[in-house]
Chains A and B, each alone.
Chain A
Amino acid sequence: MLSYIFQRVLWAIPTLILISILTFIIIQLPPGDYLTAYVAQLSETGETVDEATIEILRERFGLNKPLYEQYWTWISDIIFRGDFGQSLDWNVPVADLIWQRVGLTILISFLSMIFTWLIAIPIGVYSATHQYTVFDYIFTILGFVGRGIPNFLLALVLMWLAFAYLGINVGGLFSPEYTNAPWSFRKFLDLLAHLWVPVIVLGTGGAAGLIRIVRANMLDEIYKPYVETARAQGTAERRVIWKYPVRVALNPFISTVGWALPSLISGSIITAVVLNLPTTGPLLLRALLNQDMFLAGSFILILSVFTLVGTLISDLLLVWVDPRIRFS
């Protein structure tokens, strides 16, 4: 097992490098560069810059150097100095803009995942142990429907219903008075009060699929002999189900935890746009639409790194949790 862990961690490093290269390529894709966009912006406001100045600036920013040198400058700035470059749009260092938002994105994704488990696992287990009852059918149908509705659509519909019938606006993560205030306990409470909407939207989307997986895994396990053994020992039914087949049924799913991260983070991005949350989504979108490539690239890089770490953790978790693999 130790060798597997070692291997896995080792593979993560070149993957990270590849991701950074890919991100850099994406940043460079739009024709022109930082300067051309900057000059275009200036000319819109009526200012002009002459050719000579442009050349000097180009020299200063190192934009006339070959691509691989630019890549090296960019990536070493990030790794060694935490400098993610300058946001063209906002005219502040990228680092100032992204960390809070990335943090919130991760928080929301993480909470959604927990919420998904909290509803999906009990429902899945119940569905499996009470197969073919009314309850099972209802949740099977809900599960199917949930699979079909995209997250952002659900967010949109929920927002509309809340507004049309309850008169409240559930968008945003903070009430107006806390939006730019420094962090405090009250701000945290305010955050929680608004957090439930995106968490529910993201959580229910994932729950639908998870319920079916849990149900299917459970159905595979509950008819196996070891469950009968537990009953023959005089154990109460609830404990029989939850201590044994649930534990086995959840095993394959633990490894998928990490792999749910990419889709969770993605989903949260679009939902954030709809709900107007101060997380990655809206900012990334705006950055892409305005070709503010340092900001966009940094976002993509950081999100990818976090996803990679997440999947690594979940792969390691699986190995640790399943004794059949651990002791082989």
Chain B
Amino acid sequence: MATKPLPIKEKEKESQLYQASQWQLIWWRFRKHRVAAVSGVIIIFLYVIAAFVEVIAPYDPSAFSPLYAYVPPQQVRVIDSEGNFRAPFVYGLARSRDPETARITYEPDTSNIMPLKFLVRGDEYKFWGLFKGDWHLFGIDAGPRDRVFIWGADRLGRDLFSRLVYATRVSLSIGLLGVIFSFVFGIIIGGISGYYGGWIDNVIQRLIDFIRSIPTIPLWMGLAAALPVEWPPTRVYFLITLILSIIGWTGLARVVRGRFLALREEDFVTAARFVGAGEGRIIFRHMLPSFSSHIIAALTLAIPDMILAETSLSFLGLGLRSPVNSWGVLLQEAQNLSSVALAPWLLIPGVAVVVTILAFNFLGDGLRDAADPYGD
């Protein structure tokens, strides 16, 4: 025979393919999707930041000082005004009042060199509200009056970077929590709907259609506005999350229902019934594994919607409020044109929102593609 035999390496890869478990297959396919993998890394990075918020932020987010209102972001430099290389540092600030607009302007004061130090002791905090500590990732080792504003300061002289870092924990956790609530709602109701079919399914579907046909923002606004202003921030936090998931569960319910409906007719379910498996066992042992990967993908794609919803509500002033920080609350400072024109760095939380939403979207897409058994 004159045909070339397949090289041995390929033969091995092929047999590996046949023996791989479902999860292994998904993992391999996912890895090939580079953008999704990168997004995954970014998200893990963000959640790590969210976990170590107190350490990473150089200052207490509520610490304000009128002296530093609207300080622009200070550049971290390595070359000083004379051209020498130094360890990373920032220049101190010289305040002056613009004669025409009567506004305060800040110029870097080249005579005041403040070196950047890592692992410094600074403002005290309670790590996750439990442990006291005062180590910070970075800061400047200078007098108590000097501060470094990596990303500028807001109207009250609060460090935007610190506030942003603290806000990350809130926004990301609401996203996760909200989706978990939605998930519980969605999987139970969607599961019942899809598994039993018939009139239960009809009624539930009508309900879902009904909820979906109401414009969400006015609904949220209405519900959120009903929360009394006096309530403590944590209670507000949980209620907001609950409100968001009350609307959000419909999407997940639909996915779950669709899967159940499709799987119900599969032969392997009938086979399981024939050998006498109980309903619960059929659902959990046989049907669920078939679409758990789809559920994970759907969940991942639901998180950005949740984050966006909270951001929108807080932006309008109806969601979380100070002293609780979320990206939406931060963006509220940038609500009007004059503030933004004066201090464009107030839009930086917006960048955080966009990056997070994009990362979750890419990740979810990648997971969905990887989970699709008819994919590559």
Contacts and interface: CB of A to CB of B under 8 A. Distances in A.
A152 B312 contact: yes
Interface stretch (A53-61, A128-136, A264-272): A264-272
Nearest to A282: B316
Nearest to A280: B218
B275 interface: no
A278 B235 CA distance: 34
Nearest to B344: A160
A262 B344 contact: no
Given A148-B357, A153-B350, A156-B350, A274 B335 contact: yes
A159 B224 CA distance: 28
Chain B CB within 10 A, most for which of A11, A150, A152: A150
Interface in B26-60: none
Contact of A26 (B222, B312, B355): B222
A160 B340 contact: yes
Interface string B329-358: 001001101001100100100100111011
A288 B341 contact: no
B316 A145 contact: no
Contacts of B300: none
A252 B57 CA distance: 49
A144 B355 CA distance: 11
Interface string A293-305: 0001101100110
Interface string B349-376: 0100111011001100000000000000
| Residue from A26, A31, A263, A291 with most neighbouring chain B CB atoms (10 Å) | A26
Contacts of B347: 153, 156-157, 160
A159 B213 contact: no
B215 interface: yes
A152 B312 CA distance: 8
A156 B347 CA distance: 9
Interface stretch (A115-123, A163-171, A194-202): A163-171
A266 B217 contact: yes
A269 B213 contact: no
B362 A284 contact: no
B206 interface: yes
Contacts of A289: 225, 317-318
Given A18-B210, A145-B358, A150-B312, A266 B215 contact: yes
B315 interface: yes
Given A148-B354, A274-B335, A262 B215 contact: yes
Given A150-B311, A156-B334, A273-B316, A300 B344 contact: no
B206 A263 contact: no
A37 interface: no
B226 interface: yes
B319 to A, nearest CB: 12
A255 interface: no
B126 to A, nearest CB: 32
Given A18-B210, A148-B361, A270 B337 contact: no
B221 A159 contact: no
B223 interface: yes
A303 B215 contact: yes
Contacts of A139: none
A303 B334 CA distance: 28
Contact of B214 (A144, A262, A299): A262
A15 interface: yes
A285 interface: yes
Contacts of B362: 144
B308 interface: yes
Contacts, number: 133
Interface in B173-214: 206, 209-210, 212-214
A149 interface: yes
Interface in A6-35: 11, 15, 18-19, 22-23, 26, 29-31
B215 A160 contact: no
B219 interface: yes
A300 B355 CA distance: 32
Given A265-B215, A304-B214, A307-B215, A26 B226 contact: yes
A163 B358 contact: no
Contact of B340 (A156, A261, A300, A308): A156
A147 interface: yes
A296 B222 contact: yes
A31 B331 CA distance: 29
B232 interface: no
B216 interface: yes
B323 interface: no
B354 A149 contact: yes
Contact of B218 (A29, A291, A300): A300
A148 to B, nearest CB: 4
Contacts of A300: 218-219, 222
Contacts of A297: 222
A270 B358 contact: no
Given A29-B226, A274-B335, A296-B225, A266 B213 contact: no
A273 B357 CA distance: 22
A259 interface: yes
A311 interface: yes
B228 interface: yes
A144 B358 contact: yes
11 contacts: A29-B222, A152-B312, A156-B340, A159-B337, A163-B337, A262-B216, A273-B335, A285-B316, A304-B213, A304-B218, A308-B213
Interface of B: 206, 209-210, 212-219, 221-226, 228, 304, 308, 311-312, 315-318, 331, 334-335, 337, 340-341, 344, 347, 350, 353-355, 357-358, 361-362
A-B CB proximity, top 8 nearest: A266-B217, A29-B226, A148-B358, A288-B225, A26-B222, A148-B357, A262-B215, A265-B215
Given A18-B210, A159-B340, A270-B217, 11 more contacts: A22-B214, A148-B357, A148-B358, A150-B357, A164-B344, A266-B217, A269-B215, A284-B221, A285-B318, A291-B225, A300-B222
